[in-house]
């Protein structure tokens, strides 16, 4: 870990929507190679907190510092993506691999290779050619993680990646994330309700209660 | 069907224009469906139509190449983009669902269109045509503008395809990788607004909405990938547009709704194929679909044709003119008391050019068109006829009577009979009713001034689907000459 040079640092930051702060006084650091689980009840502000750290939600007070040129791989809640789109698992992953491609260029061998490697890292090659809409919850999650990985991020942020999947799939997804954090030195921040599954796998557990960081500690 | 796109074909501009509208709408329509904004797809064309109606009312309206048309285009653009801006503001500021504001816009735009039509004494026919999806009056200037806009839209759409997909499929992810989805959204709405404005001007709101929705729906039912969906939507749109025009031409139906109906048929077939594929596997479903399509094709082939090569007709009551030389059809006299002027940019231009340019210069009227139709109808009856140009060179003005025609023909050394025509009545009753016409024809031998034949058309002719004078002529012209030539 490199606590002296965090990827993201929040100092007494408030995050919210339409003038209303949902998360208040958040102070924390995101450091490379650390696997952090962010837990809390529904509506406590977990998602707002990670979205605030990524800059998707405005900072209403305090400060958020991001390392210049920080590359973030974001895995949203998979229910937010419309299965109507006729995209395969590979197509979705390729969107991440084209991150640095100018808009007028067609995805080439390099981008395709990066997408394939990302799918391999999440053990998603077997369903890469299937339509995203036809994939199971766990398979979709692997595709979305692969898409985030294909952006070659330093920080991977996942919003409830194991919601609605069976315990075996949940364990398999978590193993993939642990491996990515260990082998690639990725900072992984994961919003979850399933604390029991994270036990022994994450480096740190952050609790959010009523919009405030309630407790931080080793898992 | 290739004759439809030939430059000599009467409605070549209309077919090409309809095809361009169908292509651009169907491609952009993929995102109208995927982003679940179908209601927007009907509300914006209606807003564009209201803008056209307002422009007709404000400018006094002339629907043809020239100022009036550009005024209407400006009206369509302003109304479409104004509606888009209002919706975006409402979406950003309001807390109510987007459907509420879009539904309100649709209701208001529909009401405004009807009201503008009601208070505009001159524009109602043309606007009614537009609302019905008639594609007949597309001038060269309109077509070039439409082609340029379509090309620009397709280039931009192709260049920014990935940005638009990212912004549509997962805008949050787009932002995390440094793309600004609002820009891609703005581009998509700019393209949609432009396509809808031009499409409404060209083909009307019904056609625009139909092609925004039906070909994409058919394509998304079948296509395994997004690229294939775009290709399939374009193919369905092109087929439905050109095929619809062919069916409309043969069956005397309005072209726009016929094209939309064909696109709807394609969607139903695609949906049936999708279900069959899910149940029985791709190959069986494909075979069944081919059978269905083949059956439909056979039915289409069996449909009566009103093709580009009309069949020869019997001479009817006309005398045998063998050996007398070609007939010169003199300009027809207008004794109706009404100038019966035809608006510019009417499709009979092409028909006239094919028959010898009877409409050269300004001031074309129904009698001029009837002169050209007389040449065409005599030709169909295997009568040797001089071109309209030749006849006009001999008779610059309609002869007053048989004696005047004989004198002029003898001065010009004309060999062959002269056909004189006098139009005494030309009135269409009610909305889409009957044509009450009285056309008297006289065939004179210029050698001695004797009358070879007399004919008259005076029975009412139904013109239910005709709303403009040129449509009345297209619908009723052959029937009028049939009465005159064929009645004993």
ipTM of the complex: 0.88
Q: Distance between alpha carbon B478 and the CA centroid of its chain, in Å?
A: 20
Same domain, B394 and B464: yes
Q: Is B269 within the bounds of a domain?
A: yes
SS3 for B401?
Answer: coil
The pLDDT assigned to B124 comes to 62
Main-chain phi, psi angles of A190, to 5 degrees = -130, 125
- Please tell me whether the overall predicted TM-score, pTM, comes out greater than 0.90 for this model: no
Q: Is B308 within the bounds of a domain?
A: no
Domain of B63: which CATH number? 1.10.3470.10
Q: What is the mean pLDDT of chain A?
A: 88
DSSP A164: T
CA gap A160, A21 in Å, rounded: 22
Put simply, the answer to whether A88 touches B225 (Cβ < 8 Å) is yes
Q: Is B314 within the bounds of a domain?
A: no
Helix axes B205-222, B255-280, angle to 10 degrees: 20
Rg of chain B taking only CA atoms, in angstroms: 26
DSSP A211: T
Same domain, B294 and B333: no
Residue A2 has pLDDT above 70, yes or no: no
Q: Distance between alpha carbon B215 and the CA centroid of its chain, in Å?
A: 20
**Structural domain of B462:** 328-486
3-state helix, strand, coil in chain B (%, to 5): 65, 10, 25
The pLDDT assigned to B366 comes to 87
The pLDDT assigned to B286 comes to 61
Instruction: Write out residues 159-218 of A within 8 Å (CB-CB) of B.
Output: none
Residues of chain A positioned with their CB less than 8 A from the CB of B33: 84
Put simply, the answer to whether A72 touches B176 (Cβ < 8 Å) is yes
Q: Residue A1 — very low, low, confident or very high, per pLDDT cuts 50/70/90?
A: very low
CB contact B183 to A (< 8 Å):
no
CA gap B369, B359 in Å, rounded: 8
Choice among A99-103, A205-209, B317-321, B390-394 with the minimum mean pLDDT = B317-321
Residues of chain A positioned with their CB less than 8 A from the CB of B225: 86-88, 91
Same domain, B58 and B100: yes
Task: Using CA coordinates, name the residue in chain B closest to A78.
Answer: B170
Residues of chain B positioned with their CB less than 8 A from the CB of A92: 169
Q: How many CB pairs under 8 A join A and B?
A: 65
Candidates A51, A55, A103, A107: best to mutate against B (most CBs of B within 10 A) is A103
Instruction: Write out residues 82-111 of A within 8 Å (CB-CB) of B.
Output: 82, 84-88, 91-92, 95-96, 98-99, 101, 103-104
Question: Percentage of chain A surpassing pLDDT 90?
Answer: 45
The pLDDT assigned to B133 comes to 56
Task: Using CA coordinates, name the residue in chain B closest to A82.
Answer: B169
Q: Nearest by CB to B224, from A81, A86, A104: name it.
A: A86
Residues of chain A positioned with their CB less than 8 A from the CB of B178: 99
Same domain, B290 and B378: no
Same domain, B254 and B335: no
* pLDDT tens per residue across all 488 residues of chain B: 555 555 545 567 788 889 999 999 999 999 999 999 899 888 999 999 899 888 878 876 554 444 446 777 888 899 999 999 988 888 777 677 888 889 999 999 989 988 887 777 556 666 666 666 555 556 777 788 889 999 999 999 999 999 999 999 999 899 999 888 999 999 999 999 999 988 888 888 889 999 999 999 999 998 989 999 999 999 999 999 999 988 887 777 778 889 999 999 999 999 888 888 777 665 665 666 566 555 555 444 444 444 444 455 666 678 888 888 899 999 999 988 887 877 644 444 444 444 554 444 445 788 988 998 898 888 888 888 898 888 888 898 899 888 889 999 988 888 889 999 999 888 876 544 678 888 999 999 988 888 889 888 888 787 766 667 777 787 788 888 888 887 66
CB B324 within 8 A of CB B445: yes
Q: Residue A218 — very low, low, confident or very high, per pLDDT cuts 50/70/90?
A: low
Same domain, B103 and B137: yes
Q: Is B322 within the bounds of a domain?
A: no
Q: Residue A115 — very low, low, confident or very high, per pLDDT cuts 50/70/90?
A: very high
């Amino acid at each position: 870990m490199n606590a002296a040079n965090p990827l993201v640092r929040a100092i007494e930051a408030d995050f919210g929507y339409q003038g209303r702060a949902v998360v208040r006084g958040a102070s924390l650091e995101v450091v490379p190679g650390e696997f952090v689980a962010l837990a809390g009840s529904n509506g406590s502000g977990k998602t707002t907190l990670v979205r605030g750290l990524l800059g998707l939600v405005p900072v209403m007070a305090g400060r958020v510092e991001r390392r210049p040129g920080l590359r973030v791989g974001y895995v949203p809640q998979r229910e937010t993506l419309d299965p109507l789109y006729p995209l395969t698992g590979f197509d979705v992953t390729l969107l991440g691999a084209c991150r640095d491609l100018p808009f007028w260029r067609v995805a080439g061998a390099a981008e395709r290779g990066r997408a394939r490697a990302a799918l391999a890292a999440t053990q998603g090659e077997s369903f890469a050619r299937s339509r995203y809409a036809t994939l199971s919850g766990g398979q979709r999650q692997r595709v979305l993680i692969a898409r985030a990985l294909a952006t070659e991020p330093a920080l991977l942020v996942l919003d409830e990646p194991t919601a609605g999947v069976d315990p075996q799939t949940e364990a398999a997804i978590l193993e993939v994330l642990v491996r990515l954090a260990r082998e690639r030195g990725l900072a992984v921040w994961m919003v979850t309700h399933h604390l029991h599954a994270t036990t022994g796998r994450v480096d740190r557990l952050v609790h959010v209660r009523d919009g405030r960081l309630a407790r931080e500690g080793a898992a | 069907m290739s004759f439809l796109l030939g430059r000599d074909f009467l409605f070549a501009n209309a077919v090409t224009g309809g095809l361009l509208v169908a292509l651009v709408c169907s491609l952009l329509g993929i995102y109208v469906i995927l982003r679940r904004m179908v209601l927007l797809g009907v509300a914006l064309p209606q807003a564009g139509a209201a803008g056209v109606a307002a422009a007709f009312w404000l400018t006094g309206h002339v629907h043809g190449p020239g100022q009036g048309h550009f005024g209407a285009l400006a009206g369509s653009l302003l109304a479409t983009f104004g509606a888009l801006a209002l919706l975006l503001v409402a979406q950003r500021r309001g807390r109510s669902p987007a459907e509420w504001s879009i539904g309100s816009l649709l209701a208001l735009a529909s009401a405004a269109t009807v009201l503008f039509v009601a208070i505009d004494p001159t524009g109602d026919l043309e606007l009614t045509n537009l609302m019905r999806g008639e594609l007949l009056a597309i001038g060269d200037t309109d077509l070039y503008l439409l082609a340029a806009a379509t090309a620009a839209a397709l280039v931009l759409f192709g260049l920014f395809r990935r940005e638009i997909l990212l912004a549509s499929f997962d805008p949050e992810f787009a932002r995390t990788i440094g793309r600004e989805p609002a820009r891609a959204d703005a581009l998509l709405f700019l393209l949609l607004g432009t396509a809808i404005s031009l499409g409404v001007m060209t083909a009307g709101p019904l056609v625009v909405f139909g092609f925004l929705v039906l070909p994409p729906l058919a394509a998304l039912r079948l296509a395994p990938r997004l690229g294939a969906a775009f290709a399939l939507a374009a193919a369905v749109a092109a087929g439905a547009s050109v095929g619809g025009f062919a069916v409309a031409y043969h069956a005397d139906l309005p072209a726009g709704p016929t094209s939309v109906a064909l696109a709807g048929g394609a969607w139903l077939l695609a949906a049936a194929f999708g279900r069959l594929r899910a149940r029985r596997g791709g190959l069986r479903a494909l075979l069944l679909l081919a059978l269905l399509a083949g059956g439909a094709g056979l039915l289409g082939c069996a449909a009566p044709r009103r093709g580009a090569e009309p069949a020869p007709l019997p001479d009817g009551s006309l005398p045998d003119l063998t050996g007398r030389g070609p007939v010169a059809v003199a300009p027809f006299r207008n004794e109706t008391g009404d100038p019966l002027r035809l608006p510019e940019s009417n499709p009979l231009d092409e028909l006239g050019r094919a028959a010898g340019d009877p409409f050269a210069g300004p001031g074309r009227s129904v009698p001029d068109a009837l002169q050209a139709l007389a040449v065409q109808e005599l030709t169909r009856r295997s009568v040797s006829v001089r071109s309209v140009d030749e006849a006009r060179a001999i008779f610059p003005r309609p002869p007053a009577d048989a004696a005047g025609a004989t004198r002029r023909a003898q001065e010009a050394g004309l060999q062959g009979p002269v056909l004189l025509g006098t139009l005494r009545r030309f009135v269409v009753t009610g909305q889409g009713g009957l044509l009450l016409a009285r056309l008297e024809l006289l065939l004179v031998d210029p050698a001695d001034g004797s009358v070879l034949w007399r004919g008259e058309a005076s029975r009412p002719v139904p013109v239910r689907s005709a709303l403009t004078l040129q449509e009345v002529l297209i619908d009723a012209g052959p029937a009028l000459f049939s009465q005159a030539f064929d009645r004993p």
